[in-house]
């Protein structure tokens, strides 16, 4: 009599024995975007609440400008975090490992970056220029450029600050 088979079928065992397949270039980019976008979405909840408080008393069309510029800045911040974390650009130090202190600093930095990008993009002194977007969901060209440009600069500065704190903490430990 043969003993009963224990475990899984042979194809499952073969899959478990194979080395894990590494994602290709597009797969890494998508993983970086998902990870960066997720961290930005979670850590910028205070900035989103600020946006709700700013647009609460406005008409729908007046609030649409603020929401559009905030959305552009949010996407720019998420892509910037993904690019620096995934090392798409060889600028500055590597992304430091996760820690509670650096998570707090990133939370403050991401929220300040969104607040600054949105506020600077909506300054009344900026030249109007053509509108970008569709209908009421649009913004002035110069404001949109500001909303796109501020987050990468903020992430680069934040990366240097996080790296300096990480180096200080590891040197003193």
Domain ranges of the chain: 25-172
Structure tokens at 110: 């991401």
Q: What is the DSSP string of 44-62?
A: THHHHHHHHHHHTTS-HHH
Question: How many CB atoms neighbour CB 80 within 10 A?
Answer: 26
Kindly give the confidence (pLDDT) of every residue in the chain, 173 residues in length, as a single tens digit, with 9 standing for 90 and above.
Answer: 455 555 667 777 666 666 666 778 888 889 999 999 999 999 999 999 998 888 888 787 778 888 888 999 999 999 999 999 888 887 777 788 888 888 889 999 999 999 999 988 888 766 666 766 665 556 678 888 889 999 999 999 999 988 888 888 888 76
């Amino acid at each position: 009599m043969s003993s009963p088979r224990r475990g899984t079928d042979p194809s499952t065992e073969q899959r478990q024995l194979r080395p894990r397949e590494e994602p290709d270039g597009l797969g890494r980019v998508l993983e970086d975007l998902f990870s960066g976008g997720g961290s930005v979405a979670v850590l910028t909840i205070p900035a989103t609440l600020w946006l709700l408080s700013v647009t609460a008393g406005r008409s729908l069309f007046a609030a649409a400008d603020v929401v559009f510029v905030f959305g552009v800045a949010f996407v720019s911040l998420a892509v910037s975090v993904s690019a620096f974390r995934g090392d798409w650009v060889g600028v500055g130090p590597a992304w430091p490992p996760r820690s509670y202190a650096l998570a707090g600093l990133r939370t403050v930095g991401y929220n300040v970056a969104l607040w600054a990008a949105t506020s600077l993009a909506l300054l009344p002194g900026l030249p109007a220029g053509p509108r970008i977007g569709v209908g009421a969901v649009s913004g002035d060209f110069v404001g949109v450029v500001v909303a796109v440009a501020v987050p990468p600069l903020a992430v680069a500065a934040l990366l240097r600050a996080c790296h300096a704190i990480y180096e200080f903490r590891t040197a003193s430990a």
